[in-house]
Amino acid sequence: MNGHATGTFDITNWTELATEDKEGATFGRNHITKTFHGDLVGTSTTEILTVVTPQGPAAYVGVEHFDGTLHGRKGTFTLQHSAGSHNGEQWMKWQIVPTSGTGELADLTGEGAIRVDDGHHYLLDYTLPEA
């Protein structure tokens, strides 16, 4: 089954674990918790590594563990994040880590994006075996 999930999420906690200033960039490590609404309903924990430069371009990579439901199917899965910005343009991509799905989300694959404007919005295109 091919599917399309959309909705929003709230960041419920953002803990800065470490920062390090280097010449031309500041590196950080953060732990984030989220609550999801819409086609994904549940919570997640995320670890991200960030880089910010004095000129403004920034990037992050991370991994996120989701626990909840996707269109009513219960389980967990892991997302790999990749994001950046340049000249005011942002891009944030997700990739479902293959074989990370459990429960009714076993064998879930797919990818999507995050958009930030008046909140955090997600899009996830996925493939899931028939129930």
Predicted confidence at residue 55, as pLDDT, reads: 83
Predicted confidence at residue 57, as pLDDT, reads: 75
Q: Distance between CA atoms of 43 and 45, rounded to whole angstroms? A: 7
Whether residue 36 contacts residue 68, with contact meaning beta carbons closer than 8 Å, is answered with yes
Q: Distance between CA atoms of 75 and 67, rounded to whole angstroms? A: 6
Q: For the chain, 131 residues long, give each residue's pLDDT as a single digit of tens.
A: 899 999 999 999 999 999 999 999 999 999 999 999 999 999 999 999 999 998 877 899 999 999 999 999 999 999 999 999 888 788 999 999 999 999 999 999 999 999 998 999 999 999 998 76
Residue 45: CATH number of its domain = 2.40.350.10
Domain residue limits at 32:
2-127
Output 42-47 pairs: Cβ under 8 A, ≥24 positions apart.
42/66, 42/67, 42/68, 42/69, 43/12, 43/67, 43/68, 44/9, 44/79, 46/81
Residue 104, SS3? helix
Strands 109-116 and 120-127: antiparallel
Predicted confidence at residue 131, as pLDDT, reads: 61
Residue type, 32: I
Q: Distance between CA atoms of 18 and 28, rounded to whole angstroms? A: 6
Structural domain count of the chain = 1
Beta strand residue intervals within 53-119, DSSP E = 58-70, 73-86, 89-96, 109-116
